[in-house]
Amino acid sequence: MPVSRPSHLALGLLCCCSALFAVSLVDAARLRQQRAGSGQEMLALVRQLQLTDLCLFTEARYTRHPSQADLHSAFQDHPLALEHFPSGSLLLPPATLSGHHERLDRETEVPD
């Protein structure tokens, strides 16, 4: 049987890729261990400075600190104003905001 059969080559390549997939899982564990130190350093800084947000989007105050932003900060200039900043399309309003209002319509016994 010739060694260089295309099926052997293709299956060999697939096996290599599968082995690399397994290696990526081992590498992930290695990197996680290696980067745990900087995670601890950041956690210490968060505790020390009482930080509330990640520094991901620095373009506007309500994207820099989404958890601390005014409730309607995305529409601060005008109620119908469109969102200015690109990160506004990544950041949706926190889910908690939509749950703030009680549904009162079902409690009304006599229709208006």
HSE value, Cβ hemisphere, 13 Å, CA-based, for 19: 6
Structure tokens at 83: 């969102």
Our finding on whether 81 is near other proteins (CB under 8 A) is no
**DSSP-derived secondary structure letter, 109:** S
Q: For residues 83 and 74, is the Cβ–Cβ distance under 8 A?
A: yes
24 vs 108 by CB, closer to other proteins: 24
Distance of alpha carbon 15 from its chain centroid, rounded?
33
The angle formed by the CA atoms of residues 8, 11 and 14, to the nearest 5 degrees, is 150
Exactly one of 12, 77, 89, 101 binds other proteins (CB under 8 A); which one? Answer: 89
* 7, 82, 104, 109: residue in contact with other proteins (rule CB under 8 A): 7
User: Residues 9-38 vs other proteins: string with x where CB under 8 A?
Assistant: -xx-xx--xx-xx--xx-xx--xx--xxxx
Contacts to other proteins by CB under 8 A? 5-8, 10-11, 13-14, 17-18, 20-21, 24-25, 27-28, 31-32, 35-39, 41-61, 63-68, 70-72, 76, 85-87, 89-92, 94-96
